[in-house]
């Protein structure tokens, strides 16, 4: 068997079943368990696969308010602000972006009062010059991953 595109095929198989055993992956990909184990180790070591986690439905756990928070900040403070947002447990995504704002953060909150409290906590930072918050009305797709081409 040729190992061409094996890493991509392995990633795709794990995207469909992150709990698949090495044996079942080997059978599906028509290679040995050792080959799968070695390739998987390389993918993890290279940072391509960063971990294995469940996909949580936060709505069902009471976090049914999702907010998109856009921030303008003092340029030199950007790394500090993004780091604070990264450490903020309610933020599920934080991006440095181009355009009218410097940062876009996605947060999950139990209700609008909780969201408001957390956003006000952010806005007391003198390095944040402006903010714009949008509340998500309907989640169409979230945590979506896609199969790799090979």
**Residue whose structure tokens are 């906590």:** 121
Q: What angle do CA 137, 133, 59 make, to 5 degrees?
A: 40
- CATH 1.10.10 residue window(s) in the chain: 6-45
- 58-135 maps to CATH 3.40.120.10: no
Architecture in CATH for domain 6-45: Orthogonal Bundle (1.10)
Give residue-wise pLDDT tens across range 106-128: 999 999 999 999 889 888 889 99
- CATH 3.30.70.920 residue window(s) in the chain: 58-135
- Tell me the whole-structure pTM to 2 decimals: 0.81
In DSSP notation, 58-115 reads GGGGT--EEEEEEEEE-GGGHHHHHHHHHH-TTEEEEEE-SSS-SEEEEEEESSHHHH
Give residue-wise pLDDT tens across range 9-63: 999 999 999 999 999 999 999 999 999 999 999 999 999 999 998 888 999 999 9
**Distance between CA 144 and CA 129 in Å, rounded?**
32
């Amino acid at each position: 068997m040729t190992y061409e595109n094996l890493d991509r095929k392995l990633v795709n198989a794990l995207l469909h079943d992150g709990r698949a055993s090495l044996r079942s992956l080997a059978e599906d990909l028509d290679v040995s368990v050792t080959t799968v184990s070695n390739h998987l180790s390389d993918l993890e070591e290279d940072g391509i696969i960063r971990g294995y986690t469940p996909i949580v439905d936060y709505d069902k756990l009471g976090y049914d308010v999702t907010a998109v928070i856009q921030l303008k900040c003092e340029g030199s403070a950007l790394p500090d602000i993004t780091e604070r947002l990264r450490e903020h447990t309610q933020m599920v995504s934080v991006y440095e972006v181009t355009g009218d704002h410097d940062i876009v953060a996605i947060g999950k909150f139990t209700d609008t009062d909780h969201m408001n409290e957390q956003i006000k906590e952010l806005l007391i930072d003198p390095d944040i010059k402006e903010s714009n918050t949008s509340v998500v009305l309907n989640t169409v797709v979230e945590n979506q991953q896609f199969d790799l081409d090979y």
